Structures are given as C-alpha cells and as structure tokens.
C-alpha cells in the first residue's frame, strides 16, 4: 500500500510537471547562482496558487528531489486530494499558522533543514493582491538565516504568473512564465531583522524583468 502510494505520488508529480511545462513553457533563468545540488532556501514572490508548483517544476530532477516547499497546513489538509498532493507529491513541510497550536512553525522548518532538505518559502506570508511588486516580508526568512547561517538564501522571482491565471478567472492563458534565480544572501553579523528583511526584499524585487511597456515609454 505504501509502495502504491509513493508510485501514485511520483506519477502525479510527473503529470503536474508536464502540465505546468506545457501550459506556461516555464523556464529557469539562473542569474546569480548555478543549479547545483547544495542545500538552499529558495524564497519567492507569491501572487498565485501556481507559484509553488512552478518553482518545483523548473528545478532540475536532483534538486527537485531534495526540495520541500513550506506550506500552510490549513490549505493542504482541507480535503483528501490536497492531503495527498501536498505532503506526498510535493513533500511539503506543513506548518500550522494558528496561534493556539503548540508546535511552532520554525521548529518544523529547522528540523527539515537539519535533515538536509532545501526549502521553498514565500516570505510575504500570503498571496500579493496589490499593485506593489512585493508585500513586506514576515520574520521567518530572517529566523531561518539566523538559525542556520551557512545555508544559502536564494531569491527566485516568478514572472507573469499573475497574468496567466489571475484571481477570479477560470481559463489559464498559455503565456511564457520565467523563474529567475538571483545571487544568494545570508544574515550578516549583527544585522537587524528589519535591515535584513529589507535587503532580502530588494534582492528579490531586483530580479523583476521590466514590465513590457516601460521600455517603449522610455524611448517615446
């Protein structure tokens, strides 16, 4: 039974990856770092539910096998299908955001890091529905960087996904999505939480390709 489940999980994973690749022709742009198997925390902008599968699908197989997305337990345990896909296909680290729960999210995250997993996190804490490129970051990224300072924190900008599947639309558009990976950052000695989070946010926002219309308006 366990074997069958893991077979089903692997099959579902391949299907999701092929579907994502066909739909968005998603491409990884390794700008500041090479795709080598090294323990990392990838932190990305979050505008759509497709963000996590997108990063997961562009990672090369060896990296994908060792990466665990950090995701909300209340979302992924809502029904049996999600409870299968989240923990078993994507191998998510499920964290409970409710304050009354005993086990703290950071404990589970640090435990996953100590097992050697790389992580995918969305430091804005939720989907960004505003016009601004990024919401202010939550403290989680700083705490991870502080707890395990040797691990690379890698910014990853997901472009176009909000146009492909905006909130409230039913049909996704098959436009091209790009995930740009930037140079890794670390928490510096004595760096304050706010200073680090501002620096992390800037390193992510800097990867944003120019909006298509700005180039023409500059010339005009």
Partner 1 sequence: MNPTMPELPMDATTADILLLVLGACGIMLGLTLLGEFVRMRSDPRTPNPVLETYTTRVNSWWAIIILVGLALISGRVGVIILFMFASFSALREFLTLTAKAQADHLSLALAFFAVLPLQYFFVWMNWPELFTLLIPVYAFLLLPIVSAMRGNTKRYLIRVAETQWALMISVYCLSHVPALMMVPIEGFTGRSVLLVAFLVMVVQLGDLLEYFFGRRIGKTKVAPGLSPKTWEGIACGVGCSILIGGLLSWITPFGLIGAMAMAGIASLVGMFGNLVFAAIKRDRGVKDWSHLIPGQGGFVDQLDSVIFAAPIFYHLTVWGWSG
Residues that bind partner 1 (CB under 8 A): 25, 27, 160, 163, 166, 169, 171, 173-176, 210, 212-213, 215-216, 219
Q: Which two tokens stand for residue 192?
A: 């304050």
Cα dihedral 11, 13, 17, 20, rounded to 10, equals: 110
Which CB atom, from 37 or from 166, has the smaller least distance to partner 1? 166
Min separation Cβ 25 and partner 1, Å: 6
Which CB atom, from 100 or from 217, has the smaller least distance to partner 1? 217
Judged by DSSP in three states, 45 sits in coil
**Nearby residues of 21 by Cβ (< 8 Å), 6 or more positions away:** 57
Min separation Cβ 176 and partner 1, Å: 4
Which CB atom, from 4 or from 171, has the smaller least distance to partner 1? 171
Min separation Cβ 203 and partner 1, Å: 22
Which CB atom, from 126 or from 174, has the smaller least distance to partner 1? 174
Min separation Cβ 61 and partner 1, Å: 18
Which CB atom, from 34 or from 213, has the smaller least distance to partner 1? 213
Min separation Cβ 169 and partner 1, Å: 5
Which CB atom, from 65 or from 167, has the smaller least distance to partner 1? 167
Contact (Cβ atoms closer than 8 angstroms) between residue 41 and residue 151: yes
Judged by DSSP in three states, 15 sits in helix
Min separation Cβ 120 and partner 1, Å: 23
**Nearby residues of 27 by Cβ (< 8 Å), 6 or more positions away:** 58, 176, 177, 178, 179
Give the DSSP letter string of 99-165: TT-SS-HHHHHHHHHHTT-EEEE-TTSS---SSSS-PPPPTHHHHHHHHSTTSEEEEEEEESHHHHS
Judged by DSSP in three states, 21 sits in helix
Question: Distance between CA atoms of 174 and 163, rounded to whole angstroms?
Answer: 10
């Amino acid at each position: 039974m366990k074997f069958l489940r893991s077979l089903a999980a692997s099959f579902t994973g391949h299907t999701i990856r092929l579907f994502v690749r066909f739909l968005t022709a998603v491409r990884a742009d390794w700008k500041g770092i090479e795709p080598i198997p090294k323990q990392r925390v990838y932190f990305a902008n979050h505008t759509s539910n497709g963000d996590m599968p997108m990063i997961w699908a562009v990672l090369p197989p060896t990296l994908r096998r060792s990466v665990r997305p950090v995701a909300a337990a209340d979302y992924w345990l809502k029904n049996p299908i999600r409870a299968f896909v989240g923990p078993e296909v994507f191998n998510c680290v499920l964290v409970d955001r409710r304050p009354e729960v005993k086990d703290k999210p950071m404990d589970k995250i640090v435990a996953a890091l100590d097992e050697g997993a790389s992580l995918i996190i969305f430091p804005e804490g939720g989907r960004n529905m505003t016009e601004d490129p990024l919401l202010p970051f939550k403290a989680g990224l700083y705490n991870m960087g502080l707890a395990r300072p040797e691990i690379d924190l890698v910014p990853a900008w997901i472009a176009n996904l909000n146009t492909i599947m905006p909130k409230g639309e039913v049909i996704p558009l098959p436009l091209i999505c790009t995930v740009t990976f930037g140079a890794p950052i670390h928490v510096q000695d004595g760096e304050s939480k706010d200073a680090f989070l501002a620096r992390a946010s800037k390193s992510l926002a800097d990867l944003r390709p120019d909006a298509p219309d700005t180039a023409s308006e500059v010339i005009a």
